[in-house]
A and B are shown apart, each in its own frame.
Chain A
């Protein structure tokens, strides 16, 4: 399982975080996470897929955050397998954005 291995240079890879709190899992985050891991592996895209806690966007679960090397992280909402496939094909491969990105609307403590 090459995908989840910790890398010495994670910045050079696509990083994906799946919001896996109870609410996320209840709306299918686990399925999305498995799908992401398997499909990225099949399509030979080096990536790190990890789980994380609640991002706060309960209305748009399952949510995932994708960081392409050298780019700002983007959060996608309402991700099912179909949407996950589009994210891989369009955004991860080509940098093409998709409808339904959730804009960051908060400040974190680093900025303060």
Chain B
């Protein structure tokens, strides 16, 4: 049996792989065998450390030494010095950019601070179906503190001081919302948790409910205490069966422990929670539509005012907050508003959870302090673009947001900076696009979504978005004109200005931002009748190269529409009017004679 005394962890992430980590790994292994240490030292590859800028990376256990930018030829020195003599190789240690000092212990390195998990603090740590695990991590301590030590006004003051803003997308100050609702007079008020997460590619709310449902329950009760509500409702989409199940288990356990129900912690405060299911309409994430849907009516928005804080669910004052917003609340109470306000940027405090999706290596859920740059998120934590391709754009804010490009990568992102850059925070979905993505098609993809999801109540959104979509279809088909571009822009502004709710007011954003940042791609589609990324099928042409074609007939035999003509051992030609652009010829040709023009 081998008992290794030392481990060398070599980053095997894609980015580090590109900077020769494989060779480094091999060299380390060879060196260890040469020195006869194979039974004492083990070399393994790991997943991405999220610090790709300084790759390849080696971490040495048990002493936690962290080497950055290690070259394959450094292997000999690391083994001879560190492993055998126990002396760190100083020149390979990470240099703290601020203090200019070498940092040897990975625990004191700045990059660990790139991600800070507040809302996700328990996700992946506790068993979500076991309330005791939540309690063991300070669970229900915040509600206890509120009920026994603080007045509702003090809690609201604390929330206001924390600077927490609504994480569902709007960014409205949470403390202020609670205060407004608390001032409304009524015999009954409601706390509503908006778990109708509908952005394509966003799954942070689902993960919180699946991984840490008690934090949401606790926060809803705290909110109830503040605004004077004894009833809470979670509006959750029925497409999230596991989240629903775990939430139900959590509610049952909380009731059994006396943390929901009457006289919580022996006080006069009572609170209970109910669940309402949404059928998965995007518009029901808008709070007035959500409330109508909860009441059993059509999920259609109404004009504000009256705001839900005055007249909401069943006509009573209602406070609607998003799942992630609630998940932050217990921590703010436990650790204090000042602690929370010390994290983040000037006007956006705390952290934000992002769901990384698209052409990015480390697809997943991350949580970073507000003010982190897109570059850090995409190229460090996210591990860069898949298959070594070039970054083109990132869509933030889902169908309501816009795309940001290379020039936006160093913006410190928060609610305001994203809006200023022509996009928005939204609920935190981030879809990364590479050089192969056609931006006109991307705009069309989002428009397809909004056309489908428009509730149809107001004309600008119902008809306008449909017309926008038709124009984009026309452009993708190579039939667009320059007039279409003007019309596209003008109509977009009309829809934004005249739509009833947030859905219509933001739906043209993907069109406007792609036109702003990728105007040349629109021009290429319209003027040159070409799709630069080769995505728009109608604009492709498959052609056979005269020099490479040997006349093997493979393409002609595999063409489903018999569009390829040519004699055996003679040059073949594709009839463009018959070709359906299926790509079968390209796939079958062994001589690289078929190419896309």
Which residues of A approach B to under 8 Å, CB–CB?
Answer: 17, 19, 21-23, 25, 50-60, 65, 77, 94-109, 112
- Flag if B3 contacts A60 (CB, 8 Å): no
Residues of the B chain whose Cβ atoms lie less than 8 Å from the Cβ of A104: 112
Min C-beta distance of A33 to chain B, whole Å: 12
9 contacts between A and B (CB under 8 A): A22-B206, A59-B363, A97-B61, A98-B44, A103-B9, A103-B49, A105-B50, A105-B381, A106-B115
Min C-beta distance of B117 to chain A, whole Å: 5
- Flag if A100 contacts B12 (CB, 8 Å): yes
- Flag if A56 contacts B365 (CB, 8 Å): yes
- Flag if B7 contacts A97 (CB, 8 Å): yes
Min C-beta distance of A107 to chain B, whole Å: 5
- Flag if A105 contacts B123 (CB, 8 Å): no
- Flag if A54 contacts B210 (CB, 8 Å): yes
What CA separation (Å) do A110 and B42 show in the bound complex?
31
A-B complex: 4 closest residue pairs judged by Cβ atoms? A53-B211, A106-B115, A55-B124, A105-B50
Contact partner of B51 (CB less than 8 A), chosen from A21, A22, A25, A105, is: A105
B519 within 8 A of A: no
What CA separation (Å) do A56 and B366 show in the bound complex?
6
Known: A22-B210, A54-B365, A97-B9. A102 touches B46 (CB 8 A): yes
Min C-beta distance of A77 to chain B, whole Å: 5
Number of residues from B at the complex interface, CB < 8 A: 60
- Flag if A21 contacts B115 (CB, 8 Å): no
- Flag if A54 contacts B117 (CB, 8 Å): no
- Flag if A55 contacts B47 (CB, 8 Å): no
Q: Which chain B residue has the least Cβ–Cβ distance from A72?
A: B61
Min C-beta distance of B376 to chain A, whole Å: 12
Residues of the A chain whose Cβ atoms lie less than 8 Å from the Cβ of B120: 56
The CB with the most chain B CB atoms within 10 A, among A21, A77, A108, is that of A21
The CB with the most chain A CB atoms within 10 A, among B50, B208, B211, is that of B211
- Flag if B242 contacts A51 (CB, 8 Å): no
Residues of the A chain whose Cβ atoms lie less than 8 Å from the Cβ of B111: 105
Min C-beta distance of B199 to chain A, whole Å: 16
Min C-beta distance of B330 to chain A, whole Å: 11
Q: Which chain A residue has the least Cβ–Cβ distance from B365?
A: A56
Q: Which chain A residue has the least Cβ–Cβ distance from B111?
A: A105
What CA separation (Å) do A54 and B365 show in the bound complex?
8
What CA separation (Å) do A100 and B118 show in the bound complex?
26
What CA separation (Å) do A52 and B127 show in the bound complex?
4
- Flag if A59 contacts B361 (CB, 8 Å): yes
Contact partner of B335 (CB less than 8 A), chosen from A59, A60, A101, A109, is: A109
- Flag if B118 contacts A54 (CB, 8 Å): no
B466 within 8 A of A: no
Residues of the B chain whose Cβ atoms lie less than 8 Å from the Cβ of A55: 123-124
The CB with the most chain B CB atoms within 10 A, among A56, A100, A108, A112, is that of A56
What CA separation (Å) do A3 and B130 show in the bound complex?
16
What CA separation (Å) do A110 and B124 show in the bound complex?
15
Known: A59-B362, A98-B44, A112-B116. A53 touches B124 (CB 8 A): yes
Residues of the B chain whose Cβ atoms lie less than 8 Å from the Cβ of A98: 44
B45 within 8 A of A: yes
What CA separation (Å) do A60 and B48 show in the bound complex?
10
- Flag if A100 contacts B331 (CB, 8 Å): no
- Flag if B46 contacts A100 (CB, 8 Å): yes
What CA separation (Å) do A59 and B122 show in the bound complex?
20
What CA separation (Å) do A2 and B121 show in the bound complex?
29
- Flag if A99 contacts B12 (CB, 8 Å): yes
Known: A53-B211, A109-B335. A97 touches B365 (CB 8 A): no
Contact partner of B114 (CB less than 8 A), chosen from A50, A57, A99, A105, is: A105
Known: A94-B2, A102-B48. 20 other contacts (CB 8 A): A17-B125, A17-B127, A19-B124, A21-B210, A25-B242, A52-B127, A53-B122, A53-B126, A53-B211, A53-B212, A95-B4, A97-B4, A97-B7, A99-B44, A103-B46, A103-B50, A105-B114, A106-B366, A109-B331, A109-B335
Known: A22-B242, A56-B123, A94-B1. A105 touches B115 (CB 8 A): yes
Known: A60-B47, A77-B47. A52 touches B125 (CB 8 A): yes
What CA separation (Å) do A108 and B123 show in the bound complex?
11
Min C-beta distance of A19 to chain B, whole Å: 6
